Amino acid sequence: MKQTQKIYLPVDAIIFDMDGVITHTMPDHFRAWSQVLKNIGLSVSRHDIYKREGQRGITSIQELFRENGKTLSKQTAADLLRKKEVLFKKIVRRRFVPGSRLFIQALNRERIRLGLVTGTSRDEMLRILPKNLRNCFDIIVTGNDTVSGKPHPAPYRRVLKKLRIPPDQTVVIENAPLGIRSAKAAGCRCLALSTSLPKQYLGEADHIFDSFQTLRRRINFIPRECRPGKDGPR
């Protein structure tokens, strides 16, 4: 059997999306969206929600209504988003994408700088992501921190600015088309995981993997420099 060639990527930083990459929360997001929209007569599929992962919630509502030939006011959109967020907080469970925690902790030990970019609110991120995992990240940008969400490059540009690292020295790990576009528009290389959507939706990424286990076998990250720790250089 032909052995798969190893990919070597020199990096200064690796930036992660959260939902569907680290946390297995996309089913909970779908359940919340589905119930809230069903109450007003709008039916959505899992694909309708998953392909919008990373997008600002208000934008998702507006697009879903347009696609179904419906209109709504800004106030109605805001009310629906609030109801979805309230329901999500009630039903969400702390679950993780297999291999995500071990992968992040291994990179942290290797002194590779880490960032997190999520469209989820800061409050929800704090509830879902345990402190020991949050502490692995040098910079965390949430949906509260930028005006423009994915696919706009603003979320990833914000992390790059705070890390003071050029985009071409950074790798992003994503799981959805809008996140991939955001990362690429910011100038980063992007690795995609087919943890939420099939590979045909992730074609804009530089490489696609079906799991963290496969990614770890195929990719060898080469740190360009060590990251300073709390007590000085490590």
Q: Structure tokens of 17? A: 């999306």
Separate counts of helices (H) and strands (E) for the chain: 10, 10
% of residues, the chain, pLDDT over 70: 94
Task: Please name the fold of domain 26-91.
Answer: DNA polymerase; domain 1 (1.10.150)
| pLDDT of res. 54 | 87
| pLDDT of res. 3 | 53
- The yes-or-no verdict on residue 23 having pLDDT over 90 is yes
Distance CA(53)–CA(180), nearest Å, equals: 11
pTM: 0.89
State whether residue 107 is helix, strand or coil: helix
Count other C-beta atoms under 10 Å from residue 62's C-beta: 15
Domain boundaries, the chain: 7-24+95-233, 26-91
Are 228 and 234 in contact by the 8 Å Cβ rule? The answer is yes
Which contacts (CB < 8 Å, 24+ apart) does range 57-62 have? Answer: 57/81, 57/84, 57/85, 57/119, 57/143, 59/149, 60/33
Name 117's bridge partners. Answer: 141
Q: How far is CA 74 from CA 77, 78, 80, 129, 170, in A?
A: 5, 6, 10, 31, 37
Per-residue pLDDT of 209-225, as tens digits, reads 999 999 999 999 988 65
Arithmetic mean of pLDDT, 182-191: 97
Arithmetic mean of pLDDT, 84-109: 95
% of residues, the chain, pLDDT over 90: 82
What is 7-24+95-233's CATH number? Answer: 3.40.50.1000
Q: How far is CA 122 from CA 83, 128, 129, 140, 199, in A?
A: 17, 10, 10, 9, 29
Arithmetic mean of pLDDT, 45-61: 91
What percent of the chain is helix, strand and coil (3-state, nearest 5)? 45, 20, 40
Arithmetic mean of pLDDT, 131-158: 94
